Structure 1
Amino acid sequence: MTRLPVVALTDCADPNALARQSARIATLFGATPTVLPLGGPDPEGAAALTLLDLLRSTDLIGGPTQPVVVLVNIAPRDGHWPNGVPFCYFRHGDHLVISTLNHRVLAPLVTYLGLTEVQVTDVREVLEAAAAGWAELAPAEVEEMVRTQFRSLWYVPLLARWLADGRPVPARPTAVREPAPQEVRVAVVDNFGNCKLDRPAADLPGYDGAEGLSVHSRREGRTVRVRCYDRLPDVPFGEPGITVGSSGIGFAELVVRGGSAADLFGLRQGDQVFHLTS
């Protein structure tokens, strides 16, 4: 069995869930995974930026890379699916990504990494194919995993292992759509209080202008004019600024040099900062 590093992003973030997922993934892959809990008021937005950043971090290597397995479990908040949204997979170079079919989470990969389609799986179809072909699974065990609500524990690690091993997993190609929201929101608030936005700085109308941009301050209940800068070191100490941050493809960050933009503006993950007009 080939040992592969596994990174998992999940909104099943309580210690009990994280412990069970870590143990199951380690059992299947022979190495302790990195399991990153994504909670907060907007886990979909945080997952979208984090997944883009994770895959981007495998670039600029200057040579061959080792394959990484990435698991994403962020269900859409629409209540549409009777037993949860299906899981899909795709490859980014040599890296394998398995994710809930969440178009908002996958949208940045469409825009910035050229993702066009994913392979969508059906839990029962995959488990029955495995039981008939390569896995020692009794019918009662298949039925237990089909019916469970915790598919990110019981199904996804198996799917990942089988795909990594080159098993003929049945799946259907499905196009990934690219939502075009007009709102620019806080995707992640980092440990410094910098607000990582979900759009490149160059896409913000007026970013290159001298007058700056109007930022909605939840703390003050009004808009505040904030100047734009190329980098964080260019922002005067103690003042707010909008810069090209470290995430995405030149994504914008709202910062306060030496302070917390989240505290100054009363912002948290998922809050709207700008509205783009067409």
Structure 2
Amino acid sequence: MYPITYITDCSDGNARARLSTRIGALFGQTPTIVAADGPDPESFAALTLLDCLRSTESLGEQGFPTITLVNIAPRDGHWPNGVPFCYFHNGRHLVASTFNARVLSLVRRELHISEVYLTDVREVVESAGLDNVQKIVDTQFRSLWYLPLLAKWVVDDRPVPSTPTAVPITTADEPTVSVIDNFGNCKFDCGPDAIGFAVGDSLPVAGRTPSGTITLTDVTCYPHLTAVPEGTPGLIPGSSGTNFIELVIRGVSAAAAFGLQPGDAPLRRSSEEYAA
């Protein structure tokens, strides 16, 4: 039995029911479905995928191999009927994903996954000898009909036609809020070095007022959450990634206080840059 996590932007009730049922029929167990439904699903998926793989480390024993499926498809019209799918292994753990450079950017940077196996839906399905090839090739919901099959065939060591393909290097953007947790802590997609973090120093953080005005607040860097005075904003090395930075306020939602949402880059050095 393989623990299965599915990170997807197709996460309405109908989609979740179909995904759970199909994966259950293939693997004998239903997945944990994680909704990437915020304003920046690519950044959310990138950090969540990295965190899923990092969570398999330091178990104290060998543990079980896992499967992580990711479906975050750019709607840019660049690919016929959508972006292709790929797969790769991180140790014993399988990831099958849409070939999305931004989604794969953090595993490339932090886990050195520089190459994946790119697949063509028609080629793979035809090689498997399925009868309903055209249905799977043409469907709007390839993340239901194809991606679970791809993962199952790789797990079962069935021949899967694929092409080793480099993960594109994405442009180095400013540190971005990728995830806002249930406490309102803002998780960034970078570690301390990327922002010049030093305990005791302050860094300017841009926020939005309810009226939309951009304001800058000097926020102090602390070594951990409990060192941040209650009710005071702080920047700390957090629990995601490799000690990725978090903006926190003990007892208060930092996201609400600063007017932030996933996709924002409030650590730019001026309010003009942030507003742009």
TM-score, structure 1 length as denominator? 0.93
Cα offset, 1:276, TM superposition: 7.4
Cα offset, 1:265, TM superposition: 0.3
Cα offset, 1:210, TM superposition: 3.7
1:146 to 137, 152, 174: 137
Runs of at least 4 residues of structure 1 off by over 6 A? none
SS in structure 2 at match of 1:35: strand
Name stretches of at least 5 consecutive residues in structure 1 with no aligned partner: 132-136
2:123 to 114, 122, 125: 125
SS in structure 1 at match of 2:38: coil
CA distance in 2, matches of 1:45, 1:77: 15
Q: Which amino acid aligns with 1:52?
A: L
Q: 1:88, 1:119 within 8 Å by CA — same for their partners in 2?
A: yes
Name stretches of at least 5 consecutive residues in structure 2 with no aligned partner: 271-276
Cα offset, 1:182, TM superposition: 3.0
CA distance in 1, matches of 2:168, 2:79: 18
Matches within 5 A, 1:1-278: 3-131=1-129, 137-138=130-131, 141-205=132-196, 207-208=197-198, 210-219=200-209, 220-275=213-268
Cα offset, 1:116, TM superposition: 1.2
CA distance in 2, matches of 1:227, 1:150: 46
CA distance in 2, matches of 1:121, 1:255: 41
Q: 2:192, 2:237 within 8 Å by CA — same for their partners in 1?
A: yes
CA distance in 2, matches of 1:77, 1:185: 21
How far does the alpha carbon of each residue in 1:134-159 deviate from its partner, in whole angstroms, 9 at most, with x for none?
A: xxx22xx1111111010000011111
Map of 1:134 onto structure 2: none
Q: Which amino acid aligns with 2:174?
A: E
SS in structure 1 at match of 2:116: strand
Cα offset, 1:78, TM superposition: 2.9
Report sequence identity in percent: 54
Cα offset, 1:169, TM superposition: 0.4
Q: Which amino acid aligns with 1:201?
A: P
CA distance in 2, matches of 1:245, 1:180: 24
How far does the alpha carbon of each residue in 1:16-67 deviate from its partner, in whole angstroms, 9 at most, with x for none?
A: 0011000000000001211111101000000000000000000011221201
| Paired residue total | 267
Q: Which amino acid aligns with 2:241?
A: G
Q: 2:153, 2:160 within 8 Å by CA — same for their partners in 1?
A: yes
